[in-house]
Amino acid sequence: MRYVIIGSGVAGMSAAEAIRSVDGAGEIVMVSEDPHGYYSRPGLAYYLTGELPDKALYLRSREDARKLKLTFLNACVTRILRAEHALELDGGKSRLTYDKLLIAVGAQAVPLQVTGANLQGVVKLDHMNDARSILSQARRGRTAVVVGGGITALELTEGLLARGMKVIYLLRGDRYWGNVLDPHESQIVEKRLAEEGVSLRHHADLAEILGKGGKVAGVRLKDGQTIRCDLLAYAIGIRPRMELVTEAGLDFERGILVDEHLQTNDPDIFAAGDVAQAFDPLSGRAVLDSLWNPAREQGHAAGLNMAGRRTAYLKSAPFNVTRLAGLTTTIIGAVGHGLDEDVFGIARGDSETWRDLPHALVAQSGFDVNHMRLLVGEQTLVGAVLMGDQTLSWPLQKMVAGGADISSIRDKLLAPDAPIADLIAAYWMEWRKQIAL
């Protein structure tokens, strides 16, 4: 049996480990055009700031790969030949047959559609090579403009700031990440950015990137204003890499449609990670995630199913622990506010579920560096945002995912000036005992 995995991200690696746990003899081949293989994509933010060396991003050693009996092939898959159970590599230079195939190619940055987008000095943050390109061009004392919303735009802002650049952050809307954060949370992030020396410009819509000698020299906004800069970094959203899928005749919408076993409409082809559109019980529809944990869980389930161990992927409430303007932040479940003018589609490190506008009341407490917002449904918590103190992060993840019945404390949570943290902490102790029984 030959298992072929397209993509070297966390979904692909988790699938390889799951396959090997069931099938000790089958051949596993991982094909990726990224020469760096498997590394932590979320860790690139800390590589940019200098907090982590590049070596720390590699989460598996050569010895780990050897134990898995995993063959890595650095090549570009140009076609899936379903009838022949084969992949065309590098434009037809070679072929690779498969018995079971996993598509885990991830997503890529939505490109800027403005004049000057191809100038030297226009950068994004998809892969290791992108991060190295940014570091090679970042110069202390020079000016960078950042365009976009969500986590990646903030990672770019903080990375360039840490490298000694003056950073001007352009927001098309009136606040940061308006479809996930509420106005107070956006204000917390923006205030901290300003204190770090970032210049924020609201209602700033990019019209053109100006160049000189083939390099970035500035930007022009739609209101006619021009800003001189040496670097333009953008993060306006991502989209699943669908080039292989459309030609192969696999069912898709925004991503590859998969069933609860991560299986496509072809019984020998599976999909996992950012490229997969999986059913979400919270919203009742198939959604896209660009989060590490769902990609890992999907890859694991897909690998087991590929190896013949039928395992359903049960999507839980999405959560992410990230850092926004130096402030540790956890986002759980449905917390959103609709559309965000700065992001086209989904953002990296994001979930479409977060963006849902929940039918729930809000309980909110805390100060700028210790802030908590709960989305309170009729009987359960449907979402939460914690900024700063993370003591209740794990309990809230479990309570949202487990559908904890909070009816007994609901009115107390929604009371004016309620001691929300104390109420949740006490209820968590009680609920944990109940589920243990």
225-259 pLDDT, tens digit each: 999 999 999 999 999 999 999 889 999 999 999 99
- Secondary structure (DSSP) of 252-310: BSSSEE--TTSB-SSTTEEE-GGGEEEEETTTTEEE-B--HHHHHHHHHHHHHHHTT--
Who wins on pLDDT, 332 or 279? Answer: 332
- Please report whether residue 312 resides in a domain: no
For residue 351, what are the contacts with CB-CB under 8 A and spacing of at least 6? 287, 288, 289, 290, 291, 294, 318, 320
- Please report whether residue 343 resides in a domain: yes
pLDDT digits (tens, 9 = 90+) for 418-437: 999 999 999 999 999 888 75
Q: Report the CATH number that the domain containing residue 225 is assigned in CATH.
A: 3.50.50.60
- According to the model, what pLDDT value does residue 128 have? 96
Residue 348 has pLDDT above 90, yes or no: no
- Please report whether residue 298 resides in a domain: yes
| 176 and 81 assigned to the same domain | no
For residue 434, what are the contacts with CB-CB under 8 A and spacing of at least 6? none
| 230 and 245 assigned to the same domain | no
| 115 and 231 assigned to the same domain | yes
Record the pTM: 0.93
Q: How buried is residue 252: exposed, middle or buried, by Cβ count under 10 Å (0-12/13-18/19+)?
A: buried
Q: At which of 218, 236, 254 does a domain end?
A: 236
| 99 and 158 assigned to the same domain | no
Residue 107 has pLDDT above 80, yes or no: yes
One-letter amino acid at 43 equals G
User: Residue with structure tokens 């929604």?
Assistant: 414
| Strand duo 199-201 + 166-170: pairing | parallel
How many domains does one find in the chain? Answer: 3
| 115 and 195 assigned to the same domain | yes
| 367 and 400 assigned to the same domain | yes
Host domain of residue 377: 319-436
